[in-house]
């Protein structure tokens, strides 16, 4: 049983670590759908009070979406690469197109979860009905009693209304749910069109062939995996040496002893090397040969992130 659970977690981990943008975005969307359903069942509770419904309904849609957007920005590696780039080198080497594509990549990836949350909220309609029920004009309801006003309309989402208003409550709920779902479907359509146009524009403007883009994606993924794995081993071996120097010995398991013996670590990389491989990378070529990352540029001994020797800047492609 434990082995089965471990294998399932490993499978999910591989999916979440995948560099395939479509898979990643799909998983984010599915997770957001589940979170929104849980929120609606457990947490959403319309106050059914004038002036409070509107604030609560909009907050139920907008605040989680904003939080998900900020989390998406924080989790995006490009965000911190941009921070490091601005801190170390500034953005003087970026063209307007490169800057636009960089921010577009960050904002686009971060928008998957909040858009999904907003769409699901609108399709369910509960928050929209809660927010706007009190603003329905009584005159738009056929034979609505004149003695009732916004206070009663605000209670419609809670079904706490007099018996003679039941049919009006159902009519208001049906009307507002129609509007909410219409906005939800329109949002889906607009996002789909924007994604389609963005993909077309990217491939039309890219200086690389489809196969070279696929190779570049594979290279970035493999470089990142190998770098992280090697950095973990390097830091463990370095830590073991320092602990041994302090205590006179170090308690290692069998695997760690094999690592220490197999990979001797003499020291650490100086800060200039770390700075050279950290930051935003804009695709470059050196004498016609591609440079696929900052680490690749450093390994080839190419300095700077300015224009290519041919005098033009090539397209930035997000990883």
In the DSSP assignment, the letter for residue 11 is H
Structural tokens at position 22: 């479509």
The yes-or-no verdict on residue 160 having pLDDT over 90 is: no
Within 277-313, where are the H helices?
294-300
> Between the ranges 115-124, 225-234, 267-276, where is the mean pLDDT highest?
225-234
State pLDDT tens for residues 227-273.
999 999 999 999 999 999 999 999 999 998 998 889 988 888 898 89
Q: How far apart, in whole angstroms, are the C-alpha atoms of residue 214 and residue 225?
A: 17
| Residues of the chain above pLDDT 90, percent | 25
Within 10 Å of residue 230's Cβ, how many Cβ atoms? Answer: 11
* Three state DSSP letters for 251-273: CCCHHHHHHHHHCCCCCCCCHHH
How confident is the model at residue 147, as a pLDDT?
Answer: 67
How confident is the model at residue 42, as a pLDDT?
Answer: 52
At residue 135 the predicted structure's pLDDT band, cuts being 50, 70 and 90, is confident
**CA 49, 52, 56 angle in degrees (round to 5)?**
120
How confident is the model at residue 203, as a pLDDT?
Answer: 77
- Cα 291 to chain center, whole Å? 27
At residue 37 the predicted structure's pLDDT band, cuts being 50, 70 and 90, is low
From residue 230, how far is each of 174, 239, 264 by CA, in Å? 59, 14, 13
Given the structure tokens 């977690």, which residue do they identify? Answer: 9
How confident is the model at residue 116, as a pLDDT?
Answer: 87
State pLDDT tens for residues 40-71.
555 678 888 888 899 999 998 899 899 989 99
At residue 36 the predicted structure's pLDDT band, cuts being 50, 70 and 90, is low
Residue 60's Cβ-count burial label (10 Å; 0-12, 13-18, 19+) is buried
How confident is the model at residue 30, as a pLDDT?
Answer: 61
Q: Which of 75, 85, 73 is nearest to 110 (CA)?
A: 73
Question: For 14-32, what is the mean pLDDT?
Answer: 52
How confident is the model at residue 10, as a pLDDT?
Answer: 41
| Residues of the chain above pLDDT 70, percent | 77
At residue 210 the predicted structure's pLDDT band, cuts being 50, 70 and 90, is confident
How confident is the model at residue 162, as a pLDDT?
Answer: 76
Handedness of CA 176, 177, 180, 186 (dihedral sign): negative
Q: How far apart, in whole angstroms, are the C-alpha atoms of residue 183 and residue 162?
A: 31
Write phi, then psi, for 229 (nearest 5 degrees).
Answer: -65, -45
Write phi, then psi, for 315 (nearest 5 degrees).
Answer: -75, 140
How confident is the model at residue 33, as a pLDDT?
Answer: 60
Mean pLDDT of the chain: 78
How confident is the model at residue 40, as a pLDDT?
Answer: 57
> Between the ranges 28-32, 108-112, 161-165, 279-283, where is the mean pLDDT highest?
108-112
State pLDDT tens for residues 77-102.
888 877 777 776 666 666 666 677 77
Say if pTM beats, i.e. exceeds, 0.75: no
Structural tokens at position 258: 């094999």
The yes-or-no verdict on residue 318 having pLDDT over 70 is: no
How confident is the model at residue 309, as a pLDDT?
Answer: 41
Q: How far apart, in whole angstroms, are the C-alpha atoms of residue 25 and residue 11?
A: 17
More confident position, 198 or 6: 198
Question: For 6-24, what is the mean pLDDT?
Answer: 43
């Amino acid at each position: 049983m434990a082995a089965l659970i471990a294998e399932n977690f490993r499978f999910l981990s591989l999916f979440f670590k995948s560099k395939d943008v479509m898979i990643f975005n799909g998983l984010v969307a599915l997770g957001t759908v589940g979170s929104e359903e849980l929120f609606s069942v457990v947490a959403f509770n319309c106050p059914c009070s004038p002036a409070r419904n509107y604030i609560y309904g909009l907050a139920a849609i907008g605040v989680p979406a904003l939080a998900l957007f900020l989390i998406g920005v924080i989790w995006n590696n490009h965000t911190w690469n941009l921070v490091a780039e601005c801190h170390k080198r500034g953005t003087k080497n970026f063209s307007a197109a490169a800057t636009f594509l960089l921010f577009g990549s960050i904002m686009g990836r971060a928008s998957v979860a909040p858009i999904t949350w907003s769409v699901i909220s609108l399709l369910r309609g509960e928050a929209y009905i809660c927010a706007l029920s009190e603003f329905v004009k009584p005159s738009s309801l056929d034979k609505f009693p004149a003695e009732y006003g916004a206070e009663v309309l605000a209670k419609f989402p809670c079904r706490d209304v007099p018996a003679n208003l039941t049919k009006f409550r159902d009519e208001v709920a049906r009307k507002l749910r129609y509007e909410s779902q219409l906005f939800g479907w329109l949002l889906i359509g607009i996002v789909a069109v924007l994604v389609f146009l963005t993909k077309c524009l990217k491939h039309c403007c890219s200086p690389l062939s489809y196969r070279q883009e696929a190779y570049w994606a594979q290279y970035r993924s493999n470089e990142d995996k190998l770098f992280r794995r090697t950095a973990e081993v390097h830091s463990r071996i370095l830590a073991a040496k320092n602990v041994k120097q302090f205590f006179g010995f170090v308690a290692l398991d069998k695997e760690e002893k094999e690592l220490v013996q197999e990979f001797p670590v003499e020291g650490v990389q100086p800060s200039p090397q770390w700075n050279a491989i950290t930051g935003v990378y804009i695709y470059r070529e050196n004498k016609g040969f591609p440079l696929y990352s900052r680490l690749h540029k450093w390994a080839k001994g190419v300095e700077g992130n300015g224009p290519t020797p041919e005098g033009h800047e090539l397209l930035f492609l997000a990883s």
